[in-house]
Amino acid sequence: MPRYRIDVAYNGTDFSGWQVQPNAPTIQQEIERALKILAAKPVTVHGSGRTDAGVHARRQTAHFDLEAEIDCTKWLRSMNGLLPASVVLRAIKPVNHDFHARFDAEYRLYHYYFSDRHQPLHAETTAVWVQSFDCGPMQKAASYIRGDLDCRTFTPFDHELPHHRCLFYDAGITGPDEDERYCFYIKANRFLRSVVRSIMGTLIDVGQGKRSPESFEQLFLQPDRHQAGTTAPAKGLVLQEVGYPNT
């Protein structure tokens, strides 16, 4: 059966995340609904990973199988006509039958947008802390997010996981931009539930002088879930891209 890769952008404000759930609107559900109309039969979509309720994506990746080859240009246009305005397919393209959006991914890159002032032009995609923060110590703390790290401080313990480690390739903070927004970026081979938002909330503690950058490093070396800061709001989090070999 032909397999197709799709790249999806969405505003997650009105959705309960990526994965299909009973009695709740999700991104996967909307895409499968549109595909069912075009294919005249149910089509299952496999994403690169889940995003939680309220989280956005600039380029989420997924794949699906069809029984026949399609005109990708026409299907792209038709799909975007069927999807809500907050969900857009950026691309549809054929891939090898063994391509898997989740298991073939080499990395995920997230951006978290935040500010210390209200954002009328970016209200749905920027988290605001009205108390000021210093990005210098936050940047130093973020520099410790490198390598193979134990993330038990920043995620609920899951008995089904063989381990709670992630391989981090890069992390840091940029900004402010012209709208006085900052961006925390973080890139890893995988992410566990709430990890980025929990790290972000803890970095804000560093920026507000509630803990030192050095104590932040210890949260990976001596994991303790009770030592994490408040989990940051979902609205600031954007799945920026998912990386694959030779793409």
Catalytic residue among 7, 14, 52, 71: 52
pLDDT less than 50: residues of the chain: none
Which pair of tokens denotes residue 124?
């749905």
H or E element: which one contains 95? strand 87-95
Q: Where in the chain is the domain with CATH 3.30.70.580?
A: 3-95
The whole-angstrom separation of Cα 190 and Cα 103 is 10
CB 84 within 8 A of CB 30: yes
Which CATH fold topology does 3-95 show? Answer: Alpha-Beta Plaits (3.30.70)
pLDDT of the residue at 160: 87
Which CATH fold topology does 108-243 show? Answer: Alpha-Beta Plaits (3.30.70)
Averaged pLDDT of the chain: 96
52 is catalytic: yes
pLDDT of the residue at 187: 98
pLDDT of the residue at 204: 98
The whole-angstrom separation of Cα 237 and Cα 201 is 12
Q: Where in the chain is the domain with CATH 3.30.70.660?
A: 108-243
pLDDT of the residue at 247: 66
- The CA-based angle 186-104-148, given to 5 degrees, is 40
Give the predicted TM-score (pTM) of the model.
0.95
